[in-house]
Amino acid sequence: MAVPLMTARQPRVRGQATRNIEAAVSAAKRTGYVVGRKVRIGVVTGVIVGYNIARCGDFEGSRYPLLVQTDYGIAKCALMELQPN
Rg (CA), the chain: 18
How confident is the model at residue 10, as a pLDDT?
53
Residue 14 placed within a domain: no
Q: 4 lies in a domain?
A: no
Mind listing the pLDDT tens digit for each residue in 39-76?
A: 999 999 999 999 999 998 999 999 999 999 999 999 99
Residue 1 in domain? no
Question: Terminal CA-to-CA distance of the chain, rounded, Å?
Answer: 67
Q: Any bridge partners for residue 2, and if so which?
A: none
Domain that holds residue 59: 35-84
The total domain count for the chain is 1
Residue 41 in domain: yes
Position 22 in a domain: no
pLDDT for 13 equals 57
* 81 has pLDDT over 80: yes
Residue 50 domain flag: yes
**Arithmetic mean of pLDDT, 12-37:** 91
Share of the chain above pLDDT 70, in %: 84
C-alpha span between 76 and 30 (Å, rounded): 18
